[in-house]
Chains A and B, each alone.
Chain A
Amino acid sequence: MSLPSSTEAPPELRAPPEAVRALSPTQVVAVDDDRSLAAHTQWIEGLQGERLGQSRLLLSGLHCAACAGLIEEALGRVDGVRIAEVNGAAQRAVVTWDPARTRMSVLIAAVRRAGYGAFPDTGAQAVVQAARESRQAVWRLFVAAFCMMQVMMYATPAYMAEAGDLSADMAQLLRWASWVLSIPVLLFAAGPFLHGAWRSLRERRIGMDVPVTLGIVVTFVASSAATFGSDGPFGAEVYFDSMTMFVSFLLAARWLESRARQRAAQSLDAVMRRLPDAVERLDASGQAEWVTPGELGIGDRIRVHVGQAFAADGVIEQGSTQVDEAVLTGESRPVERGPGQEVAAGSLNLGSPVQVRVTQLGAQTRYQRIVSLVERALTQRPGFMLSADRIAGPFLWVVLGLAVAAYAVWSWIDPSRALWIAVSVLIVTCPCALSLGAPVALIAAAGELARRGVLLQRLDALEVLTRARHLVFDKTGTLTEDRLSPAPTVWLRALSPAEQSGAARLAADLAGQSAHPLSRALVHADDATREGASPPICDWQDVAELAGQGLQARLASGGEAGVWRLGSAAWCHAEGDAPLRPAVWLAREVQGQWQAWARFEFDEVLRPDAASSVAVMQRSGWSVHLLSGDQAASVQGMARRLGLPGEQARAQCSPQDKLAAVEALQARGDVVVMVGDGINDAPVLARSDVSVAMGSAAALAQARADVIVLSNRIGDLLVLHEMAQRTLAIVRQNLRWAFFYNLACVPLALVGWLPPWAAGLGMAASSLLVVLNALRLTRHSAGFPSAEGVAAEPRTA
């Protein structure tokens, strides 16, 4: 694996959002709680008999191997940490620490300060299991590959020697040695194939493992017979080299595949993780006590503070607030929630403290149901494996039929040659190249894409992608960033420039009292113009925030003393047309009347490479569509900035409209790629031929999507498309080669011109060729154009 340079790593991967935030006091309580520690910590005895904790942590935000070292250093610097070991591949850490000198929350905070996420790892059982399986796979691969190497060595003299150079005794010794080394390959390394074949035979169906096993076993039996009785019916040739080579290639392909899948699973794993958080439970008399979420019961009343995640699904009883439901919907803008409305576990409380009555707990919450959905999606078998099985079944029957027919015909012509001709047919047609050809290329492509932050969940999506004609963005949010940029302020009263800047500053200070995204954008814009944050100069009193309306506060002193409002047009009694973009108004109370002073407008910020990437997509023959639920004017404005024809951008679409639009495109026989990120897009994503979710998308959308673009770069869609085309070209070459090879060699074997040793050599060479051809996909990666590079140069495809 090469080291990806740090400039390539997208910022989203480098610093996950949870890494930026410090632990809240409630999280500290929950993390240091003895019960939550017990789930991921073993207490051991140190050298001096002191008590040490050995804790497992799950990490997030690792994008290259060097990160593991940085985390180890960060943990090692904490006073009281004895040993910190980070496994970058598994994204996990084991820390040995002294509870007398440090606490768990300090360790987690240290990892966060280094820029990564850390969570107590409670799923230890599954981890131990996965580690054991991965070690077992490496062990099998090593046994097969190492024995193959040695068997090759023993086989070489038989191929190279001139007649008479190799004495009969020596040849026999080399055969025995090959035979001894083939036994562990057959019985141990090829174990998964034997098991798989036995299982499918018991279920009376033919899987890919059956022809593979038959090939291995027939080769071994025929070679063993030749070794121990060279006049036997199988002839005098041995092909242990072909057999061991075949097994090691297949094992290597499986190992690579499982690594690719594991990587995809891990990045989703990190998306789903949350730190435990203590909950403030209120009893009947209103007394509060801190408990862990596990102690909550249905019907309990809890108070949820600002910045805290809701511990359970519930109904708000008192207070109103803004809630960040990004984990469920992918929508980064907070939504308003008031008394009587439901809140979901896992979403964040941003506005003000609320009291919630618990309605669903644990596995019943919406959040946990999504988690289990993701887990189920991960265990599904990729489609291409099934299609390979479909090809292999008929192929095997044909081969078996041919071998039997050859035996029958030759026992009539020349009984002494009948058996080895049948064996030749079986060996030469061993479907190795056929069964490896597609998967090896797909896996190589998936691995290469994963290094760029593009995860393939369904490998055969690559094949569909190459036929795609339409690319549909489901909403403007996919193309824009979360933040808003300030547009010129509209002054609703005649003010001098000095008064204007005073009012702008006052509005920013008032906005600082609220966590609403527009308020934060206003504060941010103000900071930017003044180059750095300044302490609040205004002394606000009686601050009140009305959800969905705005802020009101009284300024006690200064030239602008009085009551001010910041919020919606109705809240500020502003008149005139609503602007096309998000805006807030500022108003002042003068003798019981509200006077609107100013309107602060904001623009949505396009992702940096959005416009250039869309231009390249259109030039390369795709038609790009935008289906948005937003207002017509803002969608048209977005289409203009992207350079899309007006009719390809549709506004005010309901999910049904989007579904109908996609179906209309498909009715013309075209293949549609859909890029979406919300839970409401799940039906459209499912209907499209290939669904793509951005890394910022809701977990559910990601779980359903065929492809996840973790980097959030639109340009990576181009990379994905190009990779799909190259992969498919390689798969076609591989399959054509396997087909051609079988077509050429089977007749030769049937007429008896191909001795089994040549058949074995041909089989091994053809699989080697297929694997090397697939590996070309990864070799070109060094010169792979960056997202900017792709966007800059015109391309014809």
Chain B
Amino acid sequence: MTVDVVVTGLGATTPLGGDVASTWESLVAGRSGVGPLTQDWAAQLPVRIAAQLAVEPSEKLDRVKLRRLDRVEAIALIAAYEAWRDAGFGEPAGDNRPDPERLAVSIGTGIGGALTLLNQDDILEASGPRRVSPHTIPMLMPNGPAAWVGLDLDAKAGVRMVASACATGAEAISLGLDTIRAGRADVVVAGGTEAVIHPLPIAGFASMRAMSTRNDEPERASRPFDKARDGFVFGEGAGMVVLERAEHAAARGARVYARLAGAGLTSDGYDIVQPDPQGRGAARAIAAALRDSGVARSDVVHVNAHATSTPVGDIAEIVSLHAALGDHAVITATKSMTGHLLGAAGALESIATILAIVHGVVPPTINLDDPDDGVDLDVAAHKARHMDIPAALNNSFGFGGHNVALVFTRP
């Protein structure tokens, strides 16, 4: 018999708000989190827009703690604490908490502590090796965000780190599902985090011609499915969920947002960065998630698409949805508002998918003024759509050919 896994806590810090409530309010209202990059270093770049955090980590964590955290770790902690409290748990050192040996962590990042790597390299070049911070390694190691969350929440059933580029957040959540199903934990704090707004990663993505250069109209730059889209908009943020064995949640009387009914993971075997234009790997992931969930296709009436606003990727996803799900669901692309949070995207969009089910509201896809040829599904353009949502799908795809589909249902 399959173990039921439910979502009992949500946490996020994003370009739209410092927590889940403010982020969700902005999503439903159709507000963009994209703005100009005003730092001096941005002037020389072809891309001078990004979706930066609405609330700086220094407003939530104390100065001394922040000295030993990369930004990607700090925001992971902020989102994880919110999800933890939202799940009804008290102080980690107190009694109102899960058994540490039954609590696991599954958190990923696409790029990791690159800001620390780059900043400390500047110090090395300017002042020599003795000035390099002794915190450098724990700040830049890619398992750092998972390790810090595990340490602060006293999770002793394993701290896992996932990296699958822009599918990371969703894959970390799927690993949390596996962990509970396998009986290795009762509760898993799972999600993704990313914070690398710096000239080097921007220059790298820009050199690939993957990013929008609509520098004059930041709020209109991220436009998934629109004919005039010209690439993704770089974002930063973190999203976390508390996954829990359904019986464990019921026994403590926890509020349940949704059930994580199933996951499907595939790899394209096509190209290191280009999506398969026929979306075959994505379609197989969606089909696998539906099978794993046992949910009828007809019940999956909403899709939070990966849709990053790149010319090839958005259309390939439409093709995959036709093949694996059909044409009945209402699609949205919340990246039109949040920008692309890379390793955190799948986690933040899982939260949006869950709240769509809870509230019966599909957030809009803003900037979709003129749907591209081939975009022949029902996309919630411009305005939020109120509807009954028994089940919904969240797609995430990453460089490397990673495809992850998650199916959430009402509890």
The answer to whether A and B assemble together is no
Chain A interface (Cβ < 8 Å from any Cβ of B) = none
Chain B interface (Cβ < 8 Å from any Cβ of A) = none
